[in-house]
Structure 1
Amino acid sequence: MTTKSRPRGQTGHLLLAETARAASGRRQDHSTGAHLTLLAGLPPRTFFPDTVGADVVQVDDPATPHPLLARVQHAGRHEGPTVVYVSGRLVCDHRRGDLHIALRDATRRNVRYTGLPWAWLTDALAARPAVSTLVIVDVTAEPDAWTAISRDPTAFTRGMPVWGAVTPAPARGDAVDGAAPFTRALAHTLTRGAPRLPDRITARD
């Protein structure tokens, strides 16, 4: 039996993007930056142990979709291993029902223009080799988005290697303080490991 190791000499690329995971009233809250603080503080080698280094880019609470899209497109063109982490709130636009990442001050009625369509993110990464690409999500989903993903998960993954947590959005006005449980567990596992897990995790695990 032979195994193939990842090619050495490459540089990894880590994109960390965070928007608020809740809304007050009809509008999106502002991000607390808790997830970026937690993950950006980790050594890049925890994400890319087999590279010579890594670029780390942070996008915190963007007000419009274009700066975030530009960063995702840049990640899509990177030749080495790439990890894109996205934290925020999923909303369906009220006209077509398409999934969007809600950005600062977005509402369900204007998210079509103010949010980042999820399809834009997956399309920007679609040409990358799956073996060196990972999208990590820690997002909440409004009821319509939760229903859409539950009915057809492939509408969310769109053929991309997506891993993480999607949870129902908290009630409007409920405070969301600190990092979410999944991201806290992710940071803990990256720094300390999980010795009881098998060497290789498959879909069956």
Structure 2
Amino acid sequence: MITGENTMGTALLLAAAPAGKGRLIDATSTLPTLAAVPPSTLTGTAAGTIVELADPTDQQTVLTRVRAAAAASGPLSLFLIGQLHIDGKHGRVHLALARTTPATLRYTALPWEWLVNELKPRRPASTRVVVDLIADPDAWEQIRAHGLTLGHGVSLYGRVAPALPRRRLAQPAYLKAVAGTWRSGVNPPLPELHAKAAAQAGHEGALLLAVDGTPAPAPAPAPAPADTAAAPLDATAEGPLPAILAAAHAGRHGEAASLAARWEAWALQAHGPGSAQAVHWLEVRADLAHLAGDPGSSCELWMAAAGARLARHQAPDSPAVQAAVDRAHHQWQQLRDPQRARDLGPHLVSLRRRVPGRRPGATEAAQRRLEILHSSPRSLPAAQ
């Protein structure tokens, strides 16, 4: 990100959430603190223009403001606070606005791809986006599986967390920590600021984003799968997850699994078994096994992740625990090997009894399928 130049930068502060019971985050509460930060700090330039949008109601108005900010020639800093939802028709991520409801999402929320398209023409390394977002269960599942990016050349830092249970209102603690650091007169590099804010805000169960938009001449070669004890990983490295997911989606499943295993080994050594960091990489490995078409391994890893979260005294009805068990159950249902399904079934049923989940009858369905597996050893019941 360009800093310290004698150019005019722009900072766009966008905080939005639906009114009423659909609100998942107190989005606008951080705006006064951010607005009190010197404009030059927000923009990363000697002088800056600040544009603030608090609970906007119209997606076209927001698009116009984003487009105008993106068209400026100087550096752009975009701060996003709000909540993410999935359009049920097309499966696309949207940022909810003040009048957004589940029925009007496509017409009243801001599609994430609009942001991607508006930022795409900008010069690489001239744009940084800092986010503090809450995702509803459907959006959280998609983001956990596929990540959240804004395209090549855009630096993306921040936190995406699952919605709190029982409709409790989340606080944008990550961006409050960012703003608090700046207001104290300290202005560290963005990766360092990100790490500090994440530690202060807490990131239990959240997905941390750290994607550096600075172009690189060429990617470093991936380590060989067997070389897990090679050169130590850099704990301050910025986008390992996007690079790992990119490898998986490109069909390089061995490379992706090897990198994830190395990061999990680092987390275990640095933070200990059962730590939030270790559980995070366990869940990444579960996602990668699913992408590689290995439902048995994915089921095992999701069950291990759920067990680790429960061992950390997370509640059985917490979104992260429920999601882990739901995914383990789904992967178990995809198994076509009866013996493998029988081997994993008792553990899953036991876990289901502790974590029934949001879907009525899930525990009974798992128990019934396991009984059929044992009574008809050569056949495999259809997924329910």
TM-score by length of 1: 0.82
Match of 2:178 among 186, 199, 202: 186
1:47-78: per-residue Cα shift (whole Å, max 9, x none)? 24542x10000001011101111111011101
Shift in alpha-carbon separation, 1:49–1:146, aligned structure 2, 3 A: closer
1:45 corresponds to: 40
Match of 1:203 among 234, 238, 244: 238
2:14 corresponds to: 17
CA RMSD of aligned residues (A): 2.9
Displacement of 1:23: 6.9
Displacement of 1:96: 1.1
2:314 corresponds to: none
Report sequence identity in percent. 30
Shift in alpha-carbon separation, 1:6–1:161, aligned structure 2, 3 A: closer
Q: Is the 8 A contact 2:76 2:128 kept in 1?
A: yes
Distance (whole Å) between structure 1 residues aligned to residue 174 and residue 25 of structure 2: 20
Q: Is the 8 A contact 2:24 2:167 kept in 1?
A: no
1:93 corresponds to: 87
TM-score by length of 2: 0.46
Shift in alpha-carbon separation, 1:30–1:63, aligned structure 2, 3 A: farther
How do 1:67-146 and structure 2 match up within 5 A?
67-146=61-140
Shift in alpha-carbon separation, 1:32–1:188, aligned structure 2, 3 A: closer
Q: Which has more strand, going by share of residues? A: 1
SS of residue in 2 equivalent to 1:80? coil
1:129-164: per-residue Cα shift (whole Å, max 9, x none)? 23121011111001111111111115x433332111
Uncovered stretches (5+) of structure 2, i.e. residues with no partner: 194-235, 241-384
Distance (whole Å) between structure 2 residues aligned to residue 106 and residue 83 of structure 1: 25
Shift in alpha-carbon separation, 1:140–1:57, aligned structure 2, 3 A: same
Shift in alpha-carbon separation, 1:139–1:126, aligned structure 2, 3 A: same
Distance (whole Å) between structure 2 residues aligned to residue 175 and residue 31 of structure 1: 6
Q: Is the 8 A contact 1:17 1:87 kept in 2?
A: yes
Shift in alpha-carbon separation, 1:82–1:62, aligned structure 2, 3 A: same
Displacement of 1:9: 2.2
Compare relative contact order (CA 8 Å, sep 6+) and give the higher one, 1 or 2. 1
Distance (whole Å) between structure 2 residues aligned to residue 204 and residue 121 of structure 1: 19
Uncovered stretches (5+) of structure 1, i.e. residues with no partner: none
Q: Which has more helix, going by share of residues? A: 2
Distance (whole Å) between structure 2 residues aligned to residue 145 and residue 93 of structure 1: 9
Shift in alpha-carbon separation, 1:189–1:96, aligned structure 2, 3 A: same
2:157 alignment partner AA? W
1:58 corresponds to: 52
Query: How many residue pairs were aligned?
Result: 194
SS of residue in 2 equivalent to 1:109? helix
Distance (whole Å) between structure 2 residues aligned to residue 13 and residue 161 of structure 1: 15
Distance (whole Å) between structure 2 residues aligned to residue 153 and residue 32 of structure 1: 22
How do 1:151-170 and structure 2 match up within 5 A?
151-154=145-148, 156-159=149-152, 160-170=154-164
Displacement of 1:175: 3.6
Displacement of 1:91: 0.3
Shift in alpha-carbon separation, 1:105–1:186, aligned structure 2, 3 A: same
